[in-house]
Every structure is written in structure tokens, then in C-alpha cells.
Amino acid sequence: MADAPAIQLEGIGKTYGPVTALDDVSLTVHRGEVHALMGENGAGKSTLLKILSGVVRPDAGTLRVLGEAVELGRYTPGAARDLGVAIVHQEFSLIPSLTVAENIFLGQERARGGVLREAEMAARARELLARVSASVAPSTRVETLSVAQAQLVEIAKALASDVKVIALDEPSAVLSGAELRGLFEVIRALAADGVAVLYVSHRIDEVFELCSRFSVLKDGRNSGAGAIEETDADSLISLMVGRSLSHLFPPPGVEPGSAVLEATNLEVLGLAAPVNLTLRAGEIVGLAGLQGSGRTRLARALFGDVPILGGSLTLSSSPLRPGSPADAMRGRIAYLPEDRKGMGLALDKPVSLHISMLAWKRLRSRFGGIGRMQERTLVDKAIDALAIKTAKGGAAPVRTLSGGNQQKVVIAKWLELLPDVIIFDEPTRGIDVGSKEQIYGILRNLADAGKAVLVVSSELIEVLGLSDRILVMADGQIVGELPGTGATEESIMRLIASHTTHGKNEAAA
């Protein structure tokens, strides 16, 4: 059936006891297209992917692959692989101690007479790696790879089975800049070769750049579908959360107060020009710019994590020269990194440990130990204040929480520093739209409480919706300032374009 869709799911239903995960869900993906699958956490996307991969058996519905009906009662991961259906999950399935080639052919090794045909596998691995533009040798151990390289190996592994359909679950969550552009090129090449690509992402800007059609799930049901060119960001958000973009961001709060943090002719290692900026009590300042513009480098310098070579910093009119994050923390400056899992959390440790770790001096009893009742009170208060979805007491490992709730734990941890300045680097990366709305509310509440808030974000919609003022960076320098009210994506991009030298300072982020 040459014209049949690559994948056609119809009337899919799945319940877990009293909980309905999917209810009469349908999805059609055509060969040679990149199709966005969108929805909040809990909308049913993961369950649908598990059904497509053969890991979960639905209670109702039908599946056709390239026009041929599949008997779902016998549809297993092995059957999915044989039909050319592959899933690349957000959490990689690679074994670190094995080589790239061994991972690519894991479970489908090539052997003769009980002896592995290693040369043949290495040659085929090189072909697959070249197809995804991965500059990695088949003999390289996976534990030495970067995140971006590991992701390309995952895709190469999927292609080893003559893949016809590939689903990518949040593939850009930990990528940026050149790595992200490289991934997009690989995805477009796969689609050009006739592969059907199902692209799961919370990042609306990516969907408009990469995908031709979309399907949205909400509460386990189809919420909408159509052509990307016939919709807009506001409509997609409404389909996902039932509210328009205008309701996603909290309204501006209090009038900004006095200057809390001021940088004057600040010379930062790796930036092209001295920085001048002011953060005031009660306002949110957005820091916009392309990847490589130096946004994160500037944020880290304000936190003492990148050397300051000259100029001055003042905190509440007093001189400040942080030489390390510890110095910045003593000055009550908090920094929430963009990589919350790698730098902001110890995933196997309990929620309670994270929330209380910066408050231990306040929790210390007169006998030198930690006052456990005081700690429990502090943790429960933070859980309630930020609406963190976890049991009281915070005994659950952070790993068990959703991305949005993990980010709330990071916020709760830093708030126990009692900071005056809070720097958020990509505060909603990899978080669904509903959780984003909650995070936005938290940021606005912090500003209304008199904190000076700096937000670094790659999403212009986020910068425009949150900021009272917007600083724009390009080529390692601040190139302009815009008021939050009245600024547009076009006005930001005009500032960037007028100062950007193509390719310069790519590594400055």
C-alpha cells in the first residue's frame, strides 16, 4: 500500500485500574513527515509511545503499520522492531561500559558459528553513524560520549533495524546551539529518506521550525490536530491547557524599587565588551539572545562562577566582588542552572534534603545537630508554598517527580538561602505548558515580594511574557534594552541581527 500512512492508530484506549490513561485516541503519521505530538505531562503521550513500541498493550483500538493491520495481542517490542518502528526515549537506553557498535547491535548481534562478526558490525555501525552525522568511532565507549553524541548513537541504533517510523521523545531537552541544529538536520534528512518522524516536544518554537503537522493530547484524549502552517502558538497552547497564551503569564506586579544589583563596566572572561546592568527590587529582567551570545556566561559571572576581570559590582549599594559561588551565596545571590538534573539536583536523594540543605545553619539545634522537627516544618511549608506534588515530609527521591516538580524543588532549595537576587537560567526547559504556568506564577510572586529576578531564556515568548525589562545580548555583549510592555519578537531579533557576526562566539554561551 504505497499511499498508506506509516502509522495509523485508531480508537486507542488504556486504563490502569480506575485511571484512564487514553480514551479513544487516534493518531496518523505519514511517511516523510515530521509530526509533532504535544500535550502536558499526564496527557497520555508516554502511554501512547509505549503502545506504539509494543511495551504496553492497549485495552481497545487498532494499529496499522504501512497499511497492514497489526494484531495488538501479539505486538511486542521485537515485533515493533521487525516492522521498522523505533522509539528514542528521553532517558537513553545505552550501556555506558559498552562500545558504540556494541550498543547499536545490542540484542541483534551478528554472529557466525557462535562467534561475533565484529568487523562487519563495525562497518555497518560506521554507515549508520555517518547517516546521522555522528563523528564517533564504533569502538568508542559510550561512557566517554557527550549527551549530543549519545543521542545520535541512540538514533543510529534505531536505524539499524531498517526503521520506517521513529518516535523521538523530547530529543532537544538537553541540547542547544550547534548540537540542536545538527539534530534538526538529521531529522530532516530522515524525513527526506521517507522515514515517518513522530516528534514529542514541549518547545513550541521547535515545533514550528521542524514539523509539518501536529496532534495534541489533553487528559488522555485527542484535543486537536492539523497542519502547522494553519495554526499559531496561542492556538496550540489553548489545545494543550485549555487557556490562551494571554492567560499563561501573570500580569505585571509592583512598581520596581531601588537597585539591588548593579554592574558597571563589568569585564567578564569570554565576553566581548564590558557589561552595564541594573537589577531592581520587585522586577523581572529578561536576558534574551541566541545560543552563543554569552547569556549564561554573564549569569554565571554574576554568581561568581566565571572570572570577573574588571569593573565593579554593587549589592544594595555595597561593593561586591564574588570570587566564587560561595561568595555570591554569602551575598544572598542565588543561581538556578539550566541543567537542573546535572547541576541542580542529586536525583536519588530525597526532596527534603534538597529543600533544607541551604537552611542547615538555621536548623541547627543548641546541641549542634539538625532540629528534625524544624526541618520537617520547613520542608512541608515549602512543599505547600510551591505546590510541589510529593508527599508531606519530602521522603521521596527527586527522581520520582515530574520535570516541573523537580524544578520547583530547585527553587525551594534556593529560596532557603533567603536571597535578594535570584538568577534563573532556562527556568522551564523540558517542562510542559501547565507546569510552566505555575513556574511563571512563582517568579512573579518572588518579584512582588521584593526580590530582583533575572531570567535567561531561549524562548522569546517566555521573555516577552514575563519581563518588566528585557536586555538583549549578541556576540558576547549587551546590545540593547527594551521595555517589557510593547516589545516584540521582531524588535528583539532586529537588535540581535544588527550586532551579530555570523558564527562568532559560538562557544560563549
> Would you tell me how many other CB atoms lie within 10 Å of the CB of residue 3?
7
Q: For residues 269 and 281, give the distance between their C-alpha atoms in angstroms, rounded to a whole number.
A: 27
Q: Which amino acid is at 301?
A: A
- Per DSSP, the three-state class of 106 is coil
The class level of CATH for 7-241 reads alpha beta
Please give the pLDDT value at position 508.
45
Q: How confident is the model at residue 504 (pLDDT cuts 50, 70, 90)?
A: very low
- Per DSSP, the three-state class of 283 is coil
Q: What is the pLDDT of residues 435-485, one digit of tens each?
A: 888 999 999 999 999 999 999 998 888 899 999 999 999 889 999 999 998
Q: What is the pLDDT of residues 413-433, one digit of tens each?
A: 999 999 999 999 999 887 877
If you compute the radius of gyration of the chain from its CA atoms, what whole number of angstroms results?
25
Please give the pLDDT value at position 502.
40
Please give the pLDDT value at position 128.
87
> Would you tell me how many other CB atoms lie within 10 Å of the CB of residue 265?
11
The closest alpha carbon to 379, from 370, 451, 450, belongs to 370
Q: Give the residue-averaged pLDDT of 214-223.
A: 93
- Report yes or no: 466 and 455 within 8 Å, Cβ to Cβ: yes
The yes-or-no verdict on residue 168 having pLDDT over 60 is yes
User: Of 101-110, 343-352, 381-390, which range is least confident?
Assistant: 101-110
Q: What is the pLDDT of residues 224-243, one digit of tens each?
A: 999 999 998 888 888 887 76
The closest alpha carbon to 295, from 322, 271, 259, belongs to 271
In the predicted model, what is the mean pLDDT of the chain? 87
Q: What is the pLDDT of residues 51-83, one digit of tens each?
A: 999 999 999 999 999 999 999 888 999 899 899
Strand partners, 311: none
Task: For the chain, give the percent of residues with pLDDT over 70.
Answer: 93
Q: Give the residue-averaged pLDDT of 179-195.
A: 88
The yes-or-no verdict on residue 505 having pLDDT over 50 is no
Burial tier of 227 (Cβ tally within 10 Å: 0-12, 13-18, 19+): exposed
For the chain, counts of helices (H) and of strands (E): 17, 22
Q: Give the residue-averaged pLDDT of 375-392.
A: 91
Cell (9 digits) for 298: 554573564
Total residue length of the chain? 509
Q: Do domains 7-241 and 259-332+419-499 have the same CATH topology?
A: yes
Task: For the chain, give the percent of residues with pLDDT over 90.
Answer: 52
Please give the pLDDT value at position 359.
84
- Report yes or no: 211 and 36 within 8 Å, Cβ to Cβ: yes
Please give the pLDDT value at position 364.
67
The yes-or-no verdict on residue 506 having pLDDT over 80 is no
Question: Under the phi-then-psi rule, with left for phi > 0, alpha for psi from -120 to 50, and beta for the rest, what region is 42?
Answer: left
Please give the pLDDT value at position 507.
38
- Per DSSP, the three-state class of 340 is helix
Q: Give the residue-averaged pLDDT of 250-278.
A: 92
Helices 403-415 & 372-385 angle (0-180, nearest 10)? 130
Strand partners, 261: 279, 315
> Would you tell me how many other CB atoms lie within 10 Å of the CB of residue 21?
23
Q: Give the residue-averaged pLDDT of 87-103.
A: 85
Please give the pLDDT value at position 173.
67
Q: For residues 177 and 508, give the distance between their C-alpha atoms in angstroms, rounded to a whole number.
A: 11
Q: Please give the distance of CA 96 from its chain centroid, rounded to a whole number.
A: 23
Q: For residues 217 and 37, give the distance between their C-alpha atoms in angstroms, rounded to a whole number.
A: 8
The yes-or-no verdict on residue 274 having pLDDT over 90 is yes
User: Of 15-19, 45-49, 496-500, which range is least confident?
Assistant: 496-500
Q: Which of the 8 DSSP states describes residue 109?
A: -
Please give the pLDDT value at position 68.
92
Q: Give the residue-averaged pLDDT of 160-180.
A: 79
Between 197 and 107, the more confident residue is 197
The closest alpha carbon to 355, from 374, 316, 389, 383, belongs to 383
Q: What is the pLDDT of residues 309-336, one digit of tens each?
A: 999 999 988 988 778 899 999 999 999 9
Q: Give the residue-averaged pLDDT of 166-175.
A: 81
Place of cell 537506553: 93
Q: For residues 197 and 45, give the distance between their C-alpha atoms in angstroms, rounded to a whole number.
A: 15
User: Of 40-49, 106-115, 192-201, 470-479, which range is least confident?
Assistant: 106-115
Q: For residues 261 and 254, give the distance between their C-alpha atoms in angstroms, rounded to a whole number.
A: 18
**Sequence-ordered list of residues with C-beta below 8 angstroms from that of 67, at least 6 positions apart, any chain:** 1, 4, 5, 8
Q: Give the residue-averaged pLDDT of 117-122.
A: 80
**Sequence-ordered list of residues with C-beta below 8 angstroms from that of 409, at least 6 positions apart, any chain:** 345, 351, 354, 355, 388, 398, 401
Q: For residues 87 and 60, give the distance between their C-alpha atoms in angstroms, rounded to a whole number.
A: 21
Q: For residues 370 and 343, give the distance between their C-alpha atoms in angstroms, rounded to a whole number.
A: 25
Q: Which amino acid is at 180?
A: L
Please give the pLDDT value at position 34.
97
Between 40 and 418, the more confident residue is 418
Please give the pLDDT value at position 246.
67
CATH number for the region 259-332+419-499 comes to 3.40.50.300
Parse the chain into domains and list their residue ranges.
Answer: 7-241, 259-332+419-499
Place of cell 521547535: 206
Please give the pLDDT value at position 150.
86
Q: How far is CA 210 from CA 35, 186, 243, 491, in A?
A: 9, 11, 24, 23
Place of cell 527527586: 398
Q: How far apart are the first and last CA of the chain?
A: 48
pTM assigned to the model: 0.66
